[in-house]
Amino acid sequence: MKTWKPALLALILGTALTAPAHAAPPAGGWIFDSSPDMPGFRRVVVGHDASGWHGTVTSAWYGDLPMQSVRTDGDSVVFQLFNGNKNVPMSDIVLKPEGDPKGGYVRMTGRLWDSTFDITAHKGTPEALKALDFPADPLPPHRVLAPRNLAPTPPMGWSSWNRFADAIDDRSVRQIADALVASGLRDAGYVYVNIDDGWQGKRDATGRLQPNAKFPDMKALADYVHARGLKLGIYTSPGPKSCAGYEGSYGHIRQDAQTYADWGIDYLKYDLCSGEAFYHTAETVYATYQAMGEALVATKRDIVLSLCEYGRFDVGAWGRDVGGNLWRTTGDIEDNYASMARIGFDKNGTPNHTGPNGWNDPDMLEVGNGGMTHDEYQTHLALWAMLSAPLILGNDVRSMTPETLDLLKNPEVIAIDQDKAGVQGLPAKKDGSVEIWTKHLADGSTAVGIFNRGEAAANPAITWADLGLKPAKIRDLWNRSDVAVDNGHAFVVPKHGVVLLRLIP
Ligand code: GAL
């Protein structure tokens, strides 16, 4: 009510439209004069009817963002924006009339994600406003894709993101490929060389996406990688922008899939990113991942599809149906024990969804990046192996310590991860800070991980009968030696460490 008093008064006095430009909130369509790149504000349209004030702000990242919790405060409209993610940090956003009351312009201030803005917009003509309409990218009708048997065991390889973020280029990728070969990691199974976010350039006149200047020739890079017995992976988003702000596949899904196939790409990570503004229901997220799955099938090239939508909407239950071969179960891992443990122990997806050709993916490895102790990195690798998780290295394999290389190459640990049965291990027993995990393997043996999540060394006494096991032989997978078989054992497990065994009946 308070808001309207001056305008009402002016009307009563017969002086409406002369004074109130500064007294009433700014209705109409406005075009921004500038914007931070993220989220690339273009236009704001705001008005009111009997139900109150409402509007949308159009942005390059998110398309039309509806105003939420709208209220007026004096001559300002105050609101929040909804980009599909209720956890996005955001201040109240204030839209306020400014300047010459006749022409007029508006000022919008606030904060969204990391962007703090104080920007102006001028009144747009209907044509100019229309020209800023965000194009719709129609979604396909619901379909279930035929199984894509491209990952009988969890994919193994390397990705640029954890160590390099978007500071990655053609030269480094070639060196990484060489290092995977020279170090023996390729022969240990790590065959995918995945370029994550940061390779994308602009689209040409036909809409075909070009790599940026750091990747002069993707086809040549793929040839280089293939010549070394490795496979090349790439990254995009269903949204207009990738998470790091590069060009996404919105409106170009088919075309981009074909471009990757033409280059010789073997693996695609499809990361929701700005697409979360467009696809924030179970149905629309399914549909946009289905669209890429179908686009990859249409290329007739075998391209592994890695779904990255942070585990939303129980992705494991439908990841295979959209053509996915692995799907992230969580947000991003960080190179510290707390983050790794949170993801690996506590958020490991639903076991019955994982298995040949479709894997729960608790994110890429941090082993060798320096933020954890050797014992903690052993836990990291052991957990991922117990989970049947993809093993995608995240370190600089050109300069590893011998200790890191030994850890990553351990064939008996890799065998647990790559076991043909593809079972997801689970905790069988918890005893204070000690968790005993078991995973049943294709040959009838059982992997046992004795994890100590506590802050001091632990001394658990394990009875095999307690775990329902009767081993005839026991392998210690770190020491790569046999352990005496009796009906149990007392183990010393270091703080944050793990004893990893294979019990053979
Ligand atoms: C995140 C994703 C990361 C990495 C990053 C690139 O959304 O979870 O693994 O790909 O985007 O910007």
- What average pLDDT does range 77-103 have in this prediction? 89
Cβ atoms of 319 and 307 within 8 Å: the answer is: yes
- pLDDT confidence of residue 20: 45
- CA gyration radius for the chain? 27
- Position 490 scores a pLDDT of 81
Measured from the CB, is residue 271 less than 6 Å from ligand 1?
yes
Q: What is the pLDDT of residue 16?
A: 34
Residue 61 phi/psi, 5-degree rounding, is -80, -40
| DSSP class of 33 | S
Structure confidence by residue, pLDDT tens digits, 129-148: 999 999 999 999 999 999 99
* Helix or strand holding residue 304 (H, E): strand 304-308
Please provide the distance, in angstroms rounded to a whole number, between the alpha carbons at the two ends of the chain.
79
Q: Does pLDDT of 175 surpass 90?
A: yes
Give the torsion through C-alpha atoms of 308, 314, 319, 325, to 10 deg. 60
For residue 282, CA distances in Å to 275, 309, 318 come to 13, 11, 10
pLDDT of residue 103: 67
**Mutation choice for ligand 1 from 196, 274, 312, CB with most ligand atoms inside 8 A:** 196
pTM: 0.93
> Whose Cα sits closest to atom 1 in ligand 1?
243
Element (H, E) at 259: helix 253-263
CB 72 within 8 A of CB 84: no
Mean pLDDT lowest for which of 76-90, 99-113, 117-131, 203-217?
A: 99-113
Q: What are 474-488's pLDDT values in tens digits?
A: 999 999 999 988 766
Of ligand 1's listed atoms, the one at least distance from the Cα of 273 is: 7
Of the ranges 85-89, 333-337, 369-373, which one carries the lowest mean pLDDT score?
A: 85-89
- The confidence score (pLDDT) of residue 484 equals 87
Residue 244 CA: nearest ligand 1 atom is 12
Mean pLDDT within 116-128: 97
CA of 237 to the centre of ligand 1 (A): 10
What is the pLDDT, as a whole number, of residue 126?
A: 97
Whether the pLDDT of residue 19 is over 50: the answer is no
Determine which of 83-87, 139-143, 401-405, 437-441 has the lowest per-residue pLDDT on average.
83-87
Instruction: Map tokens 């280059």 to a residue.
Output: 263
Which atom, in ligand 1's list, is nearest to the CA of 308?
Answer: 8
Residue 334 pLDDT exceeds 90: yes
Average pLDDT over residues 100-104: 68
Asked if pLDDT for residue 346 goes beyond 90, the answer is no
How many A from CA of 201 to the centre of ligand 1? 17
Residue 243 beta carbon below 6 angstroms from any ligand 1 atom: yes
pLDDT at residue 44, as a whole number: 98
The catalytic site residues sit at: 271, 332
Q: In the structure, what pLDDT confidence band is assigned to residue 352 with cuts at 50, 70 and 90?
A: confident
What is the band of 204 on the pLDDT scale with cuts at 50, 70, 90? very high
* Close Cβ partners of 445 (under 8 Å, ≥ 6 residues apart): 502, 503, 504, 505
Measured in angstroms, how far is the CA atom of residue 480 from the centroid of ligand 1?
A: 35
- Of 195, 268, 308, best ligand 1 pocket probe by most atoms within 8 Å of the beta carbon: 308
Cα–ligand 1 centroid distance for 411 (angstroms): 29
Give the confidence band of 302 by pLDDT, cuts at 50, 70, 90. Answer: very high
The reported pLDDT for the residue numbered 18 is 38
- Is the pLDDT at 4 greater than 80? The verdict is no
Q: What is the pLDDT of residue 22?
A: 55
The tokens of 260 are what?
A: 């990757």
| pLDDT of the residue at 350 | 78
* The pLDDT of residue 7: 34
Instruction: Please enumerate in sequence order all residues whose Cβ is within 8 A of that of 73, keeping only pairs 6 or more positions apart, or say none.
Output: 3, 94
Residue 461, pLDDT score: 86
So what's the pLDDT on residue 212? 98
Please name the residue whose Cα sits nearest to atom 4 of ligand 1. Answer: 161
What percent of the chain is predicted at pLDDT more than 70?
94
Q: How far is the CA of 198 from the centre of ligand 1 (A)?
A: 10
| CB-based contacts of 468, cutoff 8 Å, min separation 6 | none
Q: Given the CA of residue 328, which atom of ligand 1 is nearest to it?
A: 8
* Reported confidence tier of residue 112, pLDDT bands at 50, 70, 90: very high
Per-residue pLDDT reduced to its tens digit, 307-319: 999 999 999 999 9
Contact predicate 359/391, CB 8 Å? no
